[in-house]
Amino acid sequence: MTSPETPHDKLASHFADFLTSRSVVSSADNTRLYALAKTLAEQQAAGHSCIELDPADANLLLASGLASNNALTPLIVESQRLYLRRYWQYESRLAMQLATLAAIQFDILDPEPALARHFPTDRQESDAQQQAARAALTQALTVVTGGPGTGKTTTVLKILALLLELNPNPPFIALAAPTGKAAMRLQQTIVANKAHLNCPETIKQAVPESACTLHRLLGAKPPSPYFRHNADFPLPYDVVVVDETSMVDLALMSKLVDALKPGARLILLGDKDQLASVEAGAVLADIARGLPEQTVELRHSHRFQGQIKALAEAVHRGDAEQAWQLLLTGDDAIHRLKHDAISYIGERYRRYFELIAAGAGLNEIFTEFQRFQVLCANQQGPYGAEDINRRVERAAAQAWPQSIGHTWYPGRPVMISRNHAATQLYNGDIGICLPDPADGQPRVYFPDRDGFRGLRPARLPACETVYAMTIHKSQGSEFDEAMLVLPERANPVLSRELLYTGITRAKHRVSVFAERDIFETCVARPSVRHSGLGEKLIATGSQA
């Protein structure tokens, strides 16, 4: 039976129809052009910035009048790749801008004593961290990559202290991340660790604490795709730090780099082995591959050890047999669920609902909720996030009928799914519905820098229940226990990077609900993003 056409399919078909109706080749050749244009639109929606071409298709496209190497045509053919013109412009401009940044060097007078003070040589991880700091002091572009717990944020905190100490004119610094949730985590880490810096108190006080989303940093102007800050009106900052860069897509990274003022430093943090961005591109992985001189990888993990680390490494290597055996024979840190997933989830949330019923404080409720999270491969379908959320709510309604009988019940957790500047809520922010102590009416409370703030449900932007979320949406988060739920059947979303990302969200325990064939399909299938950014950066570097 043929699957129903999705909105993305329809859009791709209309796009292909529109283009081929304007070609100058024969109707027979138009059939091939239609297929190429439709594939390009579908692959761009799937996260690829281009598609690979064979020479015959490249020649056909160039002869059609629809494509050229660099002229004002809707399609661009370059190095046997086909682009939508807009994404070719993003990629080409970003490659040029990054190469320009990579060539800029700064002179810092005798940084070694300060480096030694912040990064003692008797610690196993200090060499790589000191290398990253030295690079950030002397280069305009620095990429610090590494797996969970390798100290990326701690390293950048020390880098900021060094920049403030060693520059006669202290730099103006911005901290940002792709989502509100990731920005909040960056901010919390900075605040929690500033006191431990080995530097004067005046420097500690000068290190900024506030972090924001990239959209807020750049000054989003919804509903347009434009930002307040750009090349003509650059950001005022001397140093811009971006955490969770693996989540940043090609278009947003291009606009960020475009908005840097001349002479600014850009420091990118992230795990290049995680899932790439939802939108087009694999920017962090491409930059790390294309600009190795600007990239430092941290390998020693402070909190990520034992069986969880072994499982993540087996998945990363593509060793499906070892990964499965670890699930079956590992210690309490990794656990395979064979059946009754909803009962297991309900048991894990029991303490959370008990706190809700007892009228516990916001700190205690949020702390308990963040201990456990269900992570699904898919949003829809059996065992997708929507399905799990419905089933958990039904089970909870049976256990707590006095509380769960309407949409905004006490304890309903929600995730914001669309940026909303008016309420300062952003995609990925998580809130919990609780009765207002003053009038008993439902409010949804969100953590912020000063504690919590509550909003009436009617004021919220688009949001969804979040006992379960997709692994994609979990990036930038960590939980005491992550429960990974894979679908009953293989689908295109499943990949090695998806599984690795889900596993590495867990600090103490990973539970996996999956059949062996689906689990092994994930491990065996690396995610491939078609992009020319890495090659452009390599080519630029070889010409330098």
199: Cβ–Cβ under 8 A, 6 or more apart, which residues? 117, 118, 161, 165
CATH number of the domain located at residue range(s) 7-84 in this protein:
1.10.10.1020
pLDDT for res 66: 87
> In the numeric block, which tokens belong to residue 73?
């045509």
Tokens 């979303």 belong to 493
Cβ contacts of 90 within 8 Å, gap of 6 or more: 49, 250, 251, 254
**Tens of each residue's pLDDT in the chain, 544 residues:** 345 555 667 888 888 888 888 777 777 788 888 888 888 888 888 788 888 999 998 998 888 888 888 878 898 998 899 999 999 999 999 999 999 999 999 888 888 888 888 887 756 556 888 888 899 999 999 999 988 777 888 888 999 989 998 888 889 999 999 887 788 788 888 888 888 888 888 888 888 988 888 888 998 877 777 889 999 999 999 999 999 898 888 989 999 999 999 999 999 998 888 777 777 778 898 999 999 999 998 887 766 668 888 898 898 888 999 889 888 886 788 888 887 888 889 889 989 988 988 888 999 999 999 899 999 999 888 889 999 999 888 877 776 655 555 788 888 999 988 877 778 787 788 899 998 888 888 899 998 767 888 889 889 888 899 999 999 888 878 889 999 999 988 888 888 889 999 998 888 889 999 889 999 999 988 887 888 888 888 887 655 5
Decide if domain 94-303+529-542 falls under CATH 3.40.50.300: yes
Using CB atoms within 10 Å of the CB of residue 49, give its burial: 0 to 12 exposed, 13 to 18 middle, 19+ buried: buried
Contact yes or no for 388/374 (Cβ under 8 A) = yes
**Residue 133 in contact with residue 119, Cβ under 8 Å?**
yes
Q: How many CB atoms lie within 10 A of CB 380?
A: 11
Q: Report the distance separating Cα 108 and Cα 126, nearest Å.
A: 20
Q: Known binding site: residues?
A: 146-153
Whether 314 and 323 have beta carbons less than 8 Å apart is answered as yes
Of 3.40.50.300, 3.30.1600.10, 3.10.450.350, 3.40.50.720, the CATH number of 337-400+463-513 is: 3.40.50.300
Segments making up each domain of the chain, as ranges: 7-84, 94-303+529-542, 337-400+463-513
Q: Tell me, what's the pLDDT at 257?
A: 94
Alpha helices, DSSP H, located in 214-370: 214-218, 250-258, 283-290, 306-317, 320-329, 341-348, 350-358, 362-369
Cα–Cα distance, 527 to 520 (Å, whole number): 14
- Output Rg (C-alpha) for the chain, integer angstroms: 24
In the prediction, which pLDDT does 402 show?
57
pLDDT at residue 1, rounded to an integer: 39
> If you search the block for the tokens 């919990």, which residue do you land on?
432
Strand order, beta sheet including 334-337: 334-337, 506-513, 479-485, 372-376, 468-470
337-400+463-513 matches 7-84 in CATH topology: no
Q: Tokens 């919804």, residue? A: 222
User: Distance between CA 440 and CA 172 in Å, rounded?
Assistant: 44
Supply φ then ψ for residue 434, to 5 degrees. -145, 155
Angle subtended at Cα 230 by Cα 428 and Cα 160, rounded to the nearest 5 degrees: 65
Main-chain dihedrals φ then ψ at residue 296, nearest 5 degrees: -125, 130
Q: Model confidence over 365-394: pLDDT tens digits?
A: 999 998 999 999 998 888 899 999 998 888
Where helices occur in 349-436 by DSSP H, the ranges are 350-358, 362-369, 385-399
Positions at the binding site for ATP: 146-153
How would you label 265-295 residue by residue, b for 16+ Cβ within 10 Å and e otherwise?
A: bbbbbbbbbbbbbeebbbbbbbbbbbbeebb
Distance, in Å, from the CA atom of 494 to the CA atom of 524, rounded to the nearest integer, reads: 10
Nearest to 411 by CA among 360, 342, 353: 353
Q: What is the dihedral of CA 405, 408, 409, 411, to 10 degrees?
A: 150
Dihedral angle over CA of 344, 348, 351, 355, nearest 10: -110
Take residue 544 and report the two structure tokens written for it: 């330098």
